[in-house]
């Protein structure tokens, strides 16, 4: 049976990932393509529906991202969101202009729920707006089906042609009934049956990987993180011992982490693959000696990682494929896959390859979001502690230690962090706080322990709540938990005489990403 597909056309909006994600939450498979993609190619995919995303341009300006009229004439339902809504109306003969008052943020909207787009949606509902331009004249055949105080066309439809446009962003959670609107579009208007599941993803990937790899050899750099673990297991399931995983222990992992990874993927674990662990701790500490500038530390760790991996790869000899645990946000953030501006270069994307002798890269998770990767991980039977591992940056503890990294400081922060994590779990908070860890400030101060003067380090505790890791609030940890963690760290970890809690939100602070 052919899989039902919804195509999301990317005009560079910042919430595009979310559009794809909401569609998949309706159990409908969807893929994102640039607006530059040839229309014939999109048509050939035979999508059940098309969604046009938001975007930074003003559609009436010269050189703005655009689309062909034919897009709306293929008989395929189209939903335009924000920029997409404006563009749809402009291309079909309406008018878009700069608004006197721009709308940004939570906005009350009045919807006409006789529109199939708004079936089951409250008449007055809250939406999320983010626009400067507005549809000043709808395209012929359209009628307005939602308004706000400032926006006469907050949504419009030409129901007989199955064309819909929404000025606000149903894909963000702030639009309270947004998911319902997208569900209405993909399930009711496009008529998708909603039979897509994560397990079909596993099955399809395993099949596709087998076809691609044949009897070839595959190499994977395993970090123990969620993405590379899931990618490795997927590959192992598909091609078994044709896969070799190299795990570099750089000595900047959390307490016992190296052994935990080995337990799962090593010879005693339950997967069919060749596992190589490289204990390169000393090498990394040597390179890091005397370095305290954070960017330099990152660079050194990244480069040394590549060197170690390269040495191992040379021992293995030529391979046919290299696996990378790239996931969709990596692709978007690096500006490789989508139309959005480049936010940062990402270590997962495009960085590794040229020093290893291989023919092709395999990125089986390239289209998935983090939570989808986790679902696949569970589907594949990967232990929960790995699947729900918190994002942990590549340079690891190297950047949680402020100032110079030494073996002694690594031990301090590992022990403090382990205590902190244990107590968070004991308090039953491990699932509800999105990210928490201990860091070692480079600050020492005088204290007194057992009547003796001490001059030791301060450990800082961080805990944040975030939905998408773009913004975050400091978690309000119960005082008793903080007290318990503090006294345990001071009592059990040498060279620490002070524990601090970081109350900074993001922005202005930041949090760790993988
Ligand atoms: N750039 C357009 C505007 O300002 C569309 C914005 C968007 O898609 N979020 O109205």
pLDDT digits (tens, 9 = 90+) for 8-66: 999 998 888 889 889 989 999 888 889 999 999 999 999 999 999 999 999 999 999 99
Asked if residue 342 has pLDDT above 70, the reply is no
Percent residues over pLDDT 70 in the chain: 93
DSSP string, 4-23: PEEEEEE-S-TTHHHHHHHH
Which whole number is the average pLDDT over 76-92? 98
- Asked if 502 contacts 474 with a C-beta cutoff of 8 angstroms, the reply is yes
Query: What's the pLDDT at 371?
Result: 82
169 is catalytic: yes
Least-confidence region, from 245-259, 307-321, 322-336 = 322-336
If we measure between CA atoms, which residue out of 264, 274, 271, 511 comes closest to residue 386?
264
Could you report the per-residue pLDDT of 245-286, keeping only the tens digit for each?
999 999 999 999 999 999 999 999 989 999 999 999 999 999
Tell me which residue has tokens 């709540």.
465
Cα(509) to centroid(ligand 1), Å: 27
Question: Does pLDDT of 351 surpass 50?
Answer: no
* Mean pLDDT over the full length of the chain: 90
Residue 345 pLDDT > 80, yes or no?
Answer: no
pLDDT band at 309 (very low <50, low <70, confident <90, very high): confident
How far from each other are the two terminal CA atoms of the chain, in whole angstroms?
37
Mutate to test the pocket of ligand 1, among 83, 96, 104, 167 (most ligand atoms within 8 A of CB): 83
Respond yes or no: is residue 347 known to be catalytic: no
- 366: confidence class by pLDDT, cuts 50, 70, 90: confident
Residue at token pair 């997409």: 84
pLDDT, tens digit (0-9, with 9 covering 90-100), for 498-508: 999 999 987 77
pLDDT of residue 26: 95
Compute CA distances 237 → 147, 351, 449, whole Å: 52, 26, 54
**Cα–Cα dist 183/195, whole Å:** 13
State the pLDDT at residue 369.
81
Measured CA distances, 267 to 2, 22, 93, 241 (Å): 39, 39, 65, 12
**268 by DSSP, 3-state: which?**
coil
Supply the pLDDT for residue 174.
86
With vertex at residue 425, the alpha carbon angle to CA 422 and CA 428, rounded to the nearest 5 degrees, is: 155
Q: Is the CB of 99 under 6 A from ligand 1?
A: no
Catalytic residue among 59, 158, 169, 512: 169
The two three-digit tokens of residue 60, written as one number:
């009436």
Predicted local confidence at residue 332, as pLDDT: 57
Q: Verify whether ligand 1 is closer than 6 Å to residue 82 (CB atom).
A: yes
The pLDDT score that the predictor gives to residue 338 is 52
Helix 257-265 × helix 226-239 angle, to 10°: 20
| pTM of structure | 0.70
Amino acid 336: pLDDT: 45
pLDDT band at 422 (very low <50, low <70, confident <90, very high): very high
Of 121-135, 142-156, 319-333, the poorest mean pLDDT is in 319-333
Residue 98 backbone phi and psi in degrees, to 5: -70, 135
343 versus 20: which is more confidently predicted?
Answer: 20
Rounded distance from Cα 62 to ligand 1 centre (Å): 15
């Amino acid at each position: 049976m052919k899989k039902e597909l919804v195509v999301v056309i990317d005009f560079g909006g910042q919430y595009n990932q979310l559009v794809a994600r909401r569609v998949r939450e309706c159990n409908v498979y969807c893929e994102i393509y640039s607006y530059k993609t040839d229309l014939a190619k999109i048509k050939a995919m035979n999508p059940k529906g098309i969604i046009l995303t938001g975007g930074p341009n003003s559609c009436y300006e010269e050189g703005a991202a655009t689309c062909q009229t034919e897009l709306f004439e293929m008989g395929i339902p189209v939903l335009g969101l924000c920029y997409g809504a404006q563009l749809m109306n402009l291309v079909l003969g309406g008018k878009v202009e700069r608004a006197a008052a721009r709308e940004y943020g939570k906005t009350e909207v009045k919807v006409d729920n006789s529109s199939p787009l708004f079936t089951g949606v409250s008449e007055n509902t809250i939406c999320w707006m983010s626009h400067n331009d507005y549809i000043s004249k709808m395209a012929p055949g359209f009628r307005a089906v939602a308004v706000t105080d400032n926006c006469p066309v907050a949504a419009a439809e030409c129901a007989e042609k199955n064309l819909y446009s929404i000025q606000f962003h149903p894909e963000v959670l702030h639009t309270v009934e947004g998911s319902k609107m997208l569900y209405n579009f993909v399930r009711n208007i496009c008529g998708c049956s909603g039979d897509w599941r994560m397990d079909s993803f596993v099955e399809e990937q395993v099949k596709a990987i087998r076809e691609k790899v044949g009897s070839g050899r595959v190499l994977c750099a395993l970090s123990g993180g969620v993405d590379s673990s899931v990618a490795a297991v997927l590959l192992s399931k598909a091609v078994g011992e044709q896969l070799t995983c190299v795990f570099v222990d750089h000595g900047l992992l959390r307490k016992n982490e190296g052994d935990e990874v080995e337990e799962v993927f090593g010879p005693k674990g339950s997967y069919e693959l060749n596992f190589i662990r490289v204990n390169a701790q000393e090498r990394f500490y040597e390179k890091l000696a005397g370095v305290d500038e954070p960017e330099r530390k990152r660079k050194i760790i990244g480069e040394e990682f590549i060197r170690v991996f390269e040495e191992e790869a040379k021992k293995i000899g030529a391979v046919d494929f290299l696996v990378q645990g790239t996931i969709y946000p990596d692709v978007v953030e690096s500006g490789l896959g989508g139309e959005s501006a480049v936010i940062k270069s990402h270590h997962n994307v495009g960085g590794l390859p040229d020093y290893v002798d291989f023919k092709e890269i395999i990125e089986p998770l390239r289209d998935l979001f983090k939570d989808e990767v986790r679902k696949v991980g569970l589907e594949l039977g990967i232990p929960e502690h790995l699947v729900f591992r918190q994002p942990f940056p590549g340079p690891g503890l190297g950047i949680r230690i402020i100032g110079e990294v030494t073996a002694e400081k690594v031990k301090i922060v590992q022990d403090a962090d382990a205590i902190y994590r244990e107590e968070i779990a004991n308090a039953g908070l491990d699932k509800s706080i999105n990210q928490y860890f201990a860091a070692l400030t480079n600050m020492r101060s005088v204290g007194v322990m057992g009547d003796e003067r001490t001059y030791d380090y301060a450990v800082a505790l961080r805990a944040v709540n975030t939905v998408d890791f773009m913004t975050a609030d400091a978690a309000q940890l119960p005082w008793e938990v903080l007290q318990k963690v503090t006294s345990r760290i001071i009592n059990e970890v040498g060279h620490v005489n002070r524990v601090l809690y970081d109350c900074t939100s993001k922005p202005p602070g930041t949090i760790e990403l993988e």
